[in-house]
């Protein structure tokens, strides 16, 4: 089943990549051609640089008789903001994913492109975190000490901590002949929001 571009109204094959329209849920999709113009507008430093792109999308909107009212209103507001020179850098920063740099709805919990949690509301306020590091030695056989790790995670979780990172530190990597080369330790990094 194909999608219909919410800007130009052109039906796309299901095999062609489509893009979500920023500020909206994934229900509003844009074809690759319209997305290219839209991205240029959103990434431009000056309104003068993107007049051609703005006119192109305005023409597509005029020719699409079945355009959704919410989409039309959003794009009209975007173009009026562009024409009045109100480039709001704070607004642009708020809708950029910090991982993949794609546009994200500022009210969404996750980025549609990479799945990263956005936490925009927490980024705007001055949030402080506390970290704690715990190391767990592996068993003599080289296996991880799963029971001890579970016990530590449960203990920290019950006190409001969350597991931020876990990695293996290969202690035996540079071991000389008589020592166990499989010796490793697992490093657990826990994080907790500090309330001031």
What confidence score (pLDDT) does residue 103 get? 64
pLDDT per residue over 140-171, tens digit each?
A: 777 888 999 999 999 998 888 899 999 888 87
Q: How far are the Cα atoms of 17, 29, 74, 86, 162 from residue 99, in angstroms, in the given order?
A: 21, 22, 25, 26, 21
Please, which pLDDT band fits residue 133 given cuts at 50, 70 and 90? very high
Provide the 3-class DSSP secondary structure of residue 134.
strand
pTM over 0.85: no
Token pair listed for 175: 């071991």
Please, which pLDDT band fits residue 69 given cuts at 50, 70 and 90? confident
Mean pLDDT value across residues 65-83: 68
33: nearest Cα among 18, 46, 52 = 18
The domain ranges of the chain are 3-87, 126-194
Question: SS3 breakdown of the chain: % helix, strand, coil, rounded to 5?
Answer: 35, 20, 45
What confidence score (pLDDT) does residue 27 get? 61
Burial classification of residue 66, based on how many CB atoms lie within 10 Å of its CB (0-12 exposed, 13-18 middle, 19 or more buried): exposed
Q: How far are the Cα atoms of 39, 57, 59 from residue 95, in angstroms, in the given order?
A: 12, 21, 26
Lowest model confidence (mean pLDDT) among 85-89, 96-100, 111-115:
85-89
What confidence score (pLDDT) does residue 149 get? 93
Distance of CA 155 to the CA centre of its chain: 30
pLDDT per residue over 170-196, tens digit each?
A: 876 666 666 656 678 899 999 988 765
């Amino acid at each position: 089943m194909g999608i219909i571009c919410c800007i130009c109204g052109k039906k796309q094959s299901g095999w062609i990549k489509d893009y979500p329209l920023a500020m909206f849920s994934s229900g509003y999709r844009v074809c690759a051609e319209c997305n290219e113009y839209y991205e240029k507008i959103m990434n431009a430093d000056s309104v003068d640089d993107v007049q051609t792109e703005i006119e192109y999308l305005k023409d597509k909107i005029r020719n699409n008789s079945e355009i959704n009212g919410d989409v039309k209103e959003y794009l009209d507001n975007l173009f009026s903001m562009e024409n009045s020179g109100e480039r709001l850098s704070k607004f642009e920063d708020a809708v950029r994913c910090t991982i993949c740099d794609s546009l994200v709805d500022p009210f969404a919990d996750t980025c549609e492109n990479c799945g990263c949690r956005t936490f925009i509301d927490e980024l705007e306020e001055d949030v402080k975190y506390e970290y704690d590091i715990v190391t767990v030695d592996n068993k003599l056989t080289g296996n991880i000490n799963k029971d001890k790790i579970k016990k530590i995670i449960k203990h920290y979780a019950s006190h409001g901590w969350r597991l931020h990172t876990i990695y293996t530190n290969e202690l035996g990597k540079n071991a000389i002949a008589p020592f166990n080369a499989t010796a490793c330790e697992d490093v657990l990094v826990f994080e907790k929001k500090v309330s001031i």
